[in-house]
Amino acid sequence: MVRQPGKRERLVASAIQLLHQRGIERTTLADIAKAADVPAGNVYYYFKTKNEVIAAVIDAHVQQTRATLASIESRHRSPKSRLKNLVSEFVSQREIVVQYGCPYGSLCSELDKRVDGSGVAAAELMRVPIAWAEEQFRLLGRNDAHDLAVNLLAIYEGSALLASTLRDPDILSRQARRLDRWIDAL
């Protein structure tokens, strides 16, 4: 028997989707409750403020990223193969990225503009894949592993922004091919 997600899980899943599609400022707790099919008053049982919802979204994204990276590690033996699979994961989301932007990059950018300090917590969304990629580059014997990891994520995030702005998913595909060749050349 498959367990149906509880109200909190549905609220977080709806918040993830709505914050990505509409942005933080245009999404209300009532919107999230409606999308989750949870009575609006019940939201406050799980989350007292919108900031608590945002924190739960960040945590869910971080956990998903860690799970994805663990899955890549379990399926691929070599660091190059792992890095190339990460690039493939990025590209697999190209249609949604073109429509709404990178889920992590967009959220980080929005939160960084807020005065409540929530951008600091969102930075974990970038730190996790950078640290993982840095370890892969280090396993390749690279002394510049951190810089290479930052470069990898910067290329993806910049490509995601351009692909979304220009409504062109091929930008992500072309950059992925370039990243694959770059990784092979290391």
Residues 173 and 97 in one domain: yes
| Residue 106: predicted pLDDT | 94
pLDDT at res. 116: 75
- Check whether residue 2 and residue 83 sit in a common domain: no
Alpha helices in 38-116 (DSSP H): 40-46, 50-75, 79-92, 94-100, 103-112
Q: Which domain holds residue 12?
A: 1-48
Residue 15 CB contacts under 8 Å (≥ 6 apart), including other chains: 27, 32, 53, 54, 56, 57
Task: For residues 175 and 154, give the distance between their C-alpha atoms in angstroms, rounded to a whole number.
Answer: 11
Domain co-membership, 87 together with 167: yes
Using CA atoms, how far apart are residues 176 and 60, in angstroms rounded to an integer?
A: 26
| Residues 41 and 66 grouped into a single domain | no
Predicted confidence at residue 4, as pLDDT, reads 61
Give the per-residue SS3 of 59-75.
Answer: HHHHHHHHHHHHHHHHH
Six-digit token string for 92: 């697999």
Residues 12 and 100 reside in one and the same domain: no
Domain co-membership, 94 together with 35: no
Number of domains forming the structure of the chain: 2
Same domain, 15 and 93: no
Do 61 and 22 lie in one domain? The reply is: no
Q: Please give the pLDDT value at position 177.
A: 97
One digit per residue, pLDDT tens: the chain, 186 residues? 545 679 999 999 999 999 999 999 999 999 999 999 999 999 999 999 999 999 999 999 999 999 999 999 999 999 999 999 999 999 999 999 999 999 999 999 998 887 776 667 889 999 999 999 999 999 999 999 999 999 999 999 999 999 999 999 999 999 999 999 999 999
CATH number at residue 160: 1.10.357.10
Same domain, residue pair 66 and 43: no
Q: Nearest 5°: CA angle at 112, between 27 and 158? A: 95
111 and 22 fall within a common domain: no
pLDDT at 23: 94
Q: What is the model's pLDDT at position 120?
A: 78
Regarding whether 145 and 78 lie in a shared domain, the answer is yes
Question: pTM of this prediction?
Answer: 0.92
